[in-house]
Amino acid sequence: MFCYITKQSLFPLGKILIAPAIEHLGIEVQRLLRRHESGDFGCIDPYDSDQNLKAIKSGEGILSQYDVMVGQNTILIAVMTESDRSYTVVFILNQSKLDLPDLPEGKIPPGSEHS
């Protein structure tokens, strides 16, 4: 028998914006968003985790970071929710490790913006 635990969302994510490179790499963003909104802030230090918990109550910005395997590389993905909860942005912190195709400046591929 399987048991699934669903954690409750601690704050609204607002409109979700995803960096084009993340979708190109096929990273499972929904799982990271669920972790972020439920208080699993990933690989941040205890001080920053405590600051995030305070920010949830005080209405400040919230930042999570997750190590994600892409091929042979581990990349660091950031998920940041704005203080007014209108936007959550998902982006790569160490993109220089990856061999990504050049995307034109200001062009967002279809599906990179979610609401």
Evaluate whether residue 113 is within a structural domain.
Answer: no
Q: Tell me the residue length of the chain.
A: 115
Evaluate whether residue 112 is within a structural domain.
Answer: no
Evaluate whether residue 111 is within a structural domain.
Answer: no
Tell which residue, 75, 57, 58, has the closest CA to residue 66.
75
**Domain count along the chain:** 1
Evaluate whether residue 45 is within a structural domain.
Answer: yes
* Structural domain range at position 56: 15-96
Evaluate whether residue 40 is within a structural domain.
Answer: yes
Per-residue pLDDT reduced to its tens digit, 46-87 = 999 999 999 999 999 999 999 999 888 899 999 999 999 999
- What is the predicted pLDDT for the residue at 8? 87
Evaluate whether residue 61 is within a structural domain.
Answer: yes
Please state whether the predicted TM-score (pTM) of the whole model is above 0.75: yes
Evaluate whether residue 102 is within a structural domain.
Answer: no
Per-residue pLDDT reduced to its tens digit, 11-37 = 999 999 999 889 888 889 999 999 999
> For residue 43, how many C-alpha atoms fall within 13 Å in the half-sphere facing its CB?
10
